[in-house]
Structure 1
Amino acid sequence: MPLALLRRPDPEHLDIVHEGESFRVAVRRRPSARRLTLRVSQATGEVIMTLPARTAIATAQRFAKSHGGWIAARLARVPERVPFAAGAAVPLRGVPHRIVHRGLRSGATMLDFVEGEPAISVSCEAAHVARRVRDLLDREVRRDLSAAVARYAQTMGQGPRRITVRDTRSRWGSCTARGELNFSWRLILAPPLVLDYLVAHEMTHLREMNHSNRFWTLLGELCPHVDEAEAWLKRNGATLHCYG
């Protein structure tokens, strides 16, 4: 009988303890994996262990436990979550905006200045503040994306079939073979040059569905701040996932 049929189903996670702290480690078995690996998502703080097809769970448990210090150190570097709540500071186009809950009566959510500082002003019941802030950010990012796409479409002489905004974790933007562009709403949190660069990047894929030299040459001709935007994302991209 095949080994896979004899083995018990893998647990979804393992719990390990290191110096009095307990860590939950998600288990992912991959037939293509050649060795045990651990990673900590800077976006979610999830600890994930990948197992080769024949590695026993007991072996994986010992491996995870032996790396308890590494896990603790990586988790300590994950940005602290910032909820969309009254008093929280949220970057909008790279500029911190304080969330101000101005009243319980339902009213427009708007960009404002409160006590001389940029603010997202919300008027609604407290339970709806987070949704109102998220809706405003969604409107703002769609506005900026549409403007950037229109500008590059005029330069290139072609545009996408559709633009979709999502809360993606693994990539900031993508282009399908059908010419549809997808972007993370979290780009509105970054400085404008970052969103502009990501639009230029995905628009370039409408002509070059690859990352060849021709792709990078065309992108460089379209967008003058490729290096600056990529450097910003490398330094700060993970922090965008801590909001909301």
Structure 2
Amino acid sequence: MQYVLALPDGEQIPYRLERRARHTIGMKITVDGLIVHAPLRIRHADLEALLRSKARWITSKLKARQAAVVPEFEWRDGAELHLLGQPLTLRIAPSSRNSSPKLEGNALKIATTNIHDHTMIARKVIQWLQKEARLDFARRLPIFAARLGEPTPALLLSNAKTRWGSCNSRREVRLNWRLIQAPPALINYVIAHELAHLREMNHSARFWAVVAKLYPDYPAAEQALKACSQQLYRLG
């Protein structure tokens, strides 16, 4: 349920309350703001008293989250894209007909009858990136599967907004096409992570041991991926 926490200085903080079978109060800051996990039986007045005692922490975290928000991508000539961690300059040129994007050096060029049709430009560029993603991921997947001693699983592209990959009991690996923007090391980490689920369908110590076998420096890659996630999710 949605509530508003009133602070002594007059500031009001909206928050979402989720009551659960737990003994402690938990707080987290997400893109949707403050979320509070509270025991089922705690009185609301007691809960808000505790939240007020944590007001400084809450407001600082909310401000930090807001400052870290990446602006929406602008589909304009000269905009910067990324392919395998390398910058690409989007070049949009007027033409008598629409054409598919073409990679020329460090520029991705697209000709269009309407340079202001950002929806069409976005669609064509994203389709191009998805094609590149499928080709790239299809080359990496069998390499890591062989290291694990497993047959290459089926590869599917994902358009998820909150996760980079998944692996199911049908031996299907889904990889988010937006990963094609990331440096190869991060793509390799996600592939190693998902392939490890072929052995362990969980995140137990045994699972992480399999990940470490495939990608020893996985903790650094995991942190690097978290750091650039908002940037990668700008597209689409």
Change (3 A) 1:243 1:183: same
Contact kept, 8 Å, 2:18 with 2:37, in 1: the verdict is yes
Note the residue ranges of structure 1 that are not aligned, 5 or more in a row: 1-9
Query: Could you say what secondary structure the match of 1:242 adopts?
Result: coil
Answer yes or no: is 1:188 the counterpart of 2:188.
Answer: no
State the distance in 2 between where 1:161 and 1:70 align. 41
- In the alignment of these two chains, the number of paired residues is 224
Answer yes or no: is 1:147 the counterpart of 2:136.
Answer: no
Percent identity between matched residues is 28
The correspondence for 2:107, drawn from 119, 123, 128, is 119
Change (3 A) 1:70 1:103: same
| Other-structure match for 1:40 | 30
Q: State how 1:164-203 maps to structure 2 within 5 Å.
A: 164-169=157-162, 171-203=163-195
Q: State how 1:100-119 maps to structure 2 within 5 Å.
A: 100-104=91-95, 105-113=97-105, 118-119=106-107
Contact kept, 8 Å, 1:102 with 1:121, in 2: the verdict is yes
State the distance in 2 between where 1:135 and 1:69 align. 39
The correspondence for 1:83, drawn from 71, 74, 83, is 74
State the distance in 1 between where 2:110 and 2:49 align. 48
Q: CA RMSD in A?
A: 3.5
Answer yes or no: is 1:230 the counterpart of 2:222.
Answer: yes
State the distance in 2 between where 1:232 and 1:202 align. 17
- Any idea what the Cα deviations from partners look like across 1:78-123, whole Å, max 9, x if unmatched? 233323433211121101111111224211212123xxxx122122
Change (3 A) 1:219 1:37: closer
Note the residue ranges of structure 2 that are not aligned, 5 or more in a row: none
Query: Could you say what secondary structure the match of 1:79 adopts?
Result: coil
TM-score norm. by structure 1 comes to 0.73
Answer yes or no: is 1:95 the counterpart of 2:86.
Answer: yes
Query: Could you say what secondary structure the match of 1:96 adopts?
Result: strand
Answer yes or no: is 1:242 the counterpart of 2:234.
Answer: yes
- Any idea what the Cα deviations from partners look like across 1:99-150, whole Å, max 9, x if unmatched? 111224211212123xxxx122122332311111111111111111111112
State the distance in 2 between where 1:131 and 1:61 align. 49
Contact kept, 8 Å, 1:174 with 1:183, in 2: the verdict is yes
| C-alpha deviation, 1:174, in angstroms | 1.7
Contact kept, 8 Å, 2:161 with 2:233, in 1: the verdict is no
Greater relative CO (CA pairs within 8 A, separation 6+): 1
| C-alpha deviation, 1:224, in angstroms | 5.3
- Any idea what the Cα deviations from partners look like across 1:32-90, whole Å, max 9, x if unmatched? 4642624133xxxx314235356649x76994894444422321122333234332111
Change (3 A) 1:94 1:20: farther
Query: Could you say what secondary structure the match of 2:233 adopts?
Result: helix
| C-alpha deviation, 1:220, in angstroms | 3.4
Contact kept, 8 Å, 1:90 with 1:97, in 2: the verdict is yes
State the distance in 1 between where 2:77 and 2:11 align. 31
State the distance in 2 between where 1:79 and 1:197 align. 24
Answer yes or no: is 1:134 the counterpart of 2:126.
Answer: yes
